[in-house]
Copies of this chain bind each other. A is one copy, B any other.
């Protein structure tokens, strides 16, 4: 998954080996990470082609109509995109290691929480990539957003949102939780107070110890270095090229 990011002018890679799905991805894209987490949690065979989002290969638009990542190429060559639709597809198609709750009502509630988490996602994106300092409204949006999940963990009384192991909700919100620490650098140092989010922080610690999560996880220093390159207008996608694959 740490292969080079293909750019404009690159040659289109040959099709994936038989029996493997292909994920078009970007090493620093949290939406791509969602799909990697699902593929890894469900132990589905796949290879990864990383895309330089700053200079996309021309051939990539034949794969993903809007040039977006993640995009998943399935056995018959069809490509689907949108992280949540890919994640649901994989859970529908591959029954082993079911990630959505089997109860349709609980599944619907978890999907609502994933939608609701978008407020945190959108604010974090603004804070981490575009805006120098976090504003008061941004603080509030992130704090309120996270409080919902703190309460939810308390209500569920389980190790993970999904029970005794990470489920779909855990995996869909994780990429931004992995990056939450760096809000202290780019945002407000007082935002993520241990006493206010005790359960969420314990959850985060447990998540970071899961082998499925560790596979794609990056440390805060790497995230910060990447964001600095992004903010400077030259995102260094290949920063950890072949570092662990």
Residues of A at the B interface (CB closer than 8 Å) are: 74, 76, 78, 80-82, 85-86, 88-89, 92-93, 104-105, 107-109, 111-112, 115
| Residues of chain B contacted by A108 (CB below 8 angstroms) | 80, 85-86, 88-89, 92
Q: What distance in Å separates the Cβ of A103 from its nearest Cβ neighbour in chain B?
A: 9
Q: What distance in Å separates the Cβ of A84 from its nearest Cβ neighbour in chain B?
A: 9
| Residues of chain B contacted by A82 (CB below 8 angstroms) | 111-112, 115
* Residues of A contacting B: mostly: helix
A85 to B88, CA, bound (A): 12
| Residues of chain B contacted by A76 (CB below 8 angstroms) | 105
CB-defined A-B contacts under 8 Å, sample of 13: A74-B105, A80-B105, A80-B108, A80-B109, A82-B111, A82-B112, A82-B115, A85-B108, A85-B112, A88-B111, A89-B104, A89-B107, A92-B104
A74 to B105, CA, bound (A): 9
| Residues of chain B contacted by A88 (CB below 8 angstroms) | 108, 111
Q: What distance in Å separates the Cβ of A94 from its nearest Cβ neighbour in chain B?
A: 9
A58 to B81, CA, bound (A): 40
Contact of A89 among B78, B89, B105, B115 (CB under 8 A): B105
| Residues of chain B contacted by A104 (CB below 8 angstroms) | 89, 92-93
| Residues of chain B contacted by A112 (CB below 8 angstroms) | 80-82, 85
| Residues of chain B contacted by A93 (CB below 8 angstroms) | 104-105
A104 to B75, CA, bound (A): 13
| Residues of chain B contacted by A74 (CB below 8 angstroms) | 105
Contact of A115 among B85, B92, B109, B115 (CB under 8 A): B85
| Residues of chain B contacted by A92 (CB below 8 angstroms) | 104, 107-108
Return the 5 tightest CB-CB contacts between A and B, nearest first: A92-B104, A89-B108, A93-B104, A80-B108, A85-B111
| Residues of chain B contacted by A86 (CB below 8 angstroms) | 108
